[in-house]
């Protein structure tokens, strides 16, 4: 999530801003709010333009998240809302402005999170809902959208995050001459109100999504999950944030290795965040986790209004390298 400061945010929306996302090139900023609107601003000299921007209306409840598609698919933005709907917006060429090109009403409760798949997999969007289901929307070659929907978390699903499109280890084990490149795999992770984290994989033989693994460890709702970007290195990382005031990082050293769980410990860090408890828990509920583009720094957003940055040292331990008030 990007925060450009409350002074401008107050003029952008009339209520609480829930999410803000820059597009692929950093030239546009999309925000969404409890006022049921999505706003899009041009970025001029590193800041949102104060000339107004575009306001997208249609949702009938607070809008929780926005997500930009890869530019190879055009200027496409998705939004999800408490109203149980997912909208797909497109910036029409030749001054046509932003229009809603699709409206998905698959869910019976709030849609809390949306995430576009790596562009290698096509224009595909995963959506997590309080009805306990996940839907996967795919733009087909015939110009229409198809949808898969399945039960995921019994009490409700809070977040989804796609695995990288690059196969783990492809950088350290280059493709042999004369062999076919590996097929990009469809896989994502979800976080639920059942305290669980689940990994889902698409099976080509049955053309269906199946639960590949269930990861335990949290003692309360898992609020957010983020699968780290990967440039082809063998190790995979998944970070989860929870109502239980903890952040867990799971690592996998190879595609066949088990996931190894590590808890961030604010109290043990040399630059310990203020307010860290003796137990190693964060001082409040942890709401969001987000990886840097290179996948080596993790940002943690806590209910006490602070954001901390974490990095793995050469010994394999996670250290807090920055503590700031959001």
Q: How confident is the model at residue 168 (pLDDT cuts 50, 70, 90)?
A: low
pLDDT value of position 170: 60
pLDDT value of position 11: 46
Which residue reads 């709702």 in tokens?
Answer: 221
DSSP H stretches of helix in the chain: 6-12
272 vs 266: CA distance, rounded Å: 5
pLDDT value of position 258: 94
Higher pLDDT, 163 or 45: 163
pLDDT value of position 136: 97
Task: Check whether 166 has a pLDDT greater than 90.
Answer: no
CA angle 224, 228, 232 (to 5 degrees): 160
Task: Check whether 160 has a pLDDT greater than 90.
Answer: yes
193 vs 197: CA distance, rounded Å: 9
Which residue reads 């800041």 in tokens?
Answer: 47
- Residue 236: exposure state from Cβ atoms within 10 A (0-12, 13-18, ≥19): buried
Task: Check whether 261 has a pLDDT greater than 90.
Answer: yes
Instruction: Give the rounded percent of residues in the chain with a pLDDT score beyond 90.
Output: 70
Q: Rounded to the nearest 5°, which phi and psi values hold at 7?
A: -60, -40
pLDDT value of position 326: 55
Evaluate whether 290 touches 1 at the Cβ level (below 8 Å). yes
CA 310 to mean position of chain CA atoms: 18
How many other CB atoms sit within 10 Å of the CB of residue 251? Answer: 17
Higher pLDDT, 289 or 178: 289
Catalogue the E-assigned strands of 256-305.
Answer: 260-263, 286-291, 297-302
Q: Rounded to the nearest 5°, which phi and psi values hold at 11?
A: -90, -15
Lowest mean pLDDT among 145-149, 217-221, 266-270: 266-270
CA 219 to mean position of chain CA atoms: 22
Task: Check whether 206 has a pLDDT greater than 70.
Answer: yes
Higher pLDDT, 126 or 230: 126
**Three-state secondary structure call for residue 266:** helix
Token reading at 4: 């450009």
| Ramachandran area for residue 207 (φ above 0: left; ψ -120 to 50: alpha; else beta) | left
Task: Check whether 8 has a pLDDT greater than 90.
Answer: no
pLDDT value of position 33: 96
pLDDT value of position 260: 95
Average pLDDT over residues 144-172: 87
Task: Check whether 5 has a pLDDT greater than 60.
Answer: no
Task: Check whether 183 has a pLDDT greater than 80.
Answer: no
Q: Which residues pair with 246 in a beta bridge?
A: none
Lowest mean pLDDT among 155-159, 202-206, 258-262, 292-296: 292-296
Which residue reads 């333009």 in tokens?
Answer: 49
320 vs 316: CA distance, rounded Å: 13
Lowest mean pLDDT among 17-21, 119-123, 167-171, 298-302: 167-171
What average pLDDT is seen over the chain? 87
pLDDT value of position 268: 72
228 vs 293: CA distance, rounded Å: 8
Sequence-ordered list of residues with C-beta below 8 angstroms from that of 106, at least 6 positions apart, any chain: 86, 127, 133, 135, 147, 149
Average pLDDT over residues 86-90: 97
Average pLDDT over residues 60-68: 97
pLDDT value of position 150: 97
Report pLDDT digits (tens) over 274-291. 555 556 799 999 999 999
pLDDT value of position 320: 94
**CA-to-CA dists, residue 269 to 19, 148, 245, 276, 311, angstroms:** 29, 43, 16, 10, 11
pLDDT value of position 56: 96
Half-sphere exposure of 227 (CA within 13 A, CB side): 28
Which residue reads 């990288």 in tokens?
Answer: 164
**Three-state secondary structure call for residue 290:** strand
Nearest to 225 by CA among 317, 287, 272, 180: 287
pLDDT value of position 41: 92
Please, what are the domains in the chain? 17-169+183-270+281-298 (2.130.10.10)
């Amino acid at each position: 999530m990007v925060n450009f400061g409350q002074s401008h945010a107050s003029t952008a929306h009339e209520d609480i801003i829930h999410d803000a996302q820059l597009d692929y090139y950093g030239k546009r900023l999309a925000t969404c709010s409890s006022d049921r609107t999505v706003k899009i601003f041009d970025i001029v000299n590193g800041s949102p333009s104060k000339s107004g921007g575009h306001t997208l209306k249609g949702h009938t409840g607070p809008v929780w998240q926005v997500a930009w598609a890869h530019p190879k698919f055009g200027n496409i933005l998705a939004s999800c809302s408490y109203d149980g709907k997912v909208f797909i917006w497109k910036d029409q060429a030749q001054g046509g402005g932003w229009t809603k090109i699709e409206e998905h009403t698959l869910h019976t409760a709030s849609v809390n999170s949306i995430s576009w798949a790596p562009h290698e997999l096509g224009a595909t969007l995963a959506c997590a809902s309080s009805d306990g289901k996940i839907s996967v929307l795919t733009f087909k070659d015939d110009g229409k959208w198809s949808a898969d929907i399945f039960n995921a978390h019994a009490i409700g699903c809070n977040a989804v995050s796609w695995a990288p499109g690059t196969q783990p280890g492809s950088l350290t084990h280059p493709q042999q001459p004369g062999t076919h490149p590996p097929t990009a795999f469809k896989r994502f992770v979800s976080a639920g109100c059942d305290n669980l984290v689940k990994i889902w994989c698409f099976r080509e033989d049955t053309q269906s999504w199946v639960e590949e693994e269930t990861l335990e460890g949290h003692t309360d709702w898992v609020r957010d999950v983020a699968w780290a970007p990967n440039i082809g290195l063998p190790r995979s990382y998944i970070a989860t944030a929870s109502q239980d005031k903890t952040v867990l990082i799971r690592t996998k050293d190879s595609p066949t290795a088990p996931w190894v769980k590590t808890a961030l410990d604010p109290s043990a860090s040399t630059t310990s965040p203020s307010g860290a408890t003796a137990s190693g828990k964060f001082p409040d509920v942890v709401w969001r986790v987000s990886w840097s583009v290179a996948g080596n720094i993790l940002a943690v957003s806590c209910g006490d209004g602070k954001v901390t940055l974490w990095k793995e040292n050469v010994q394999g331990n996670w250290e807090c390298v920055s503590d700031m008030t959001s």
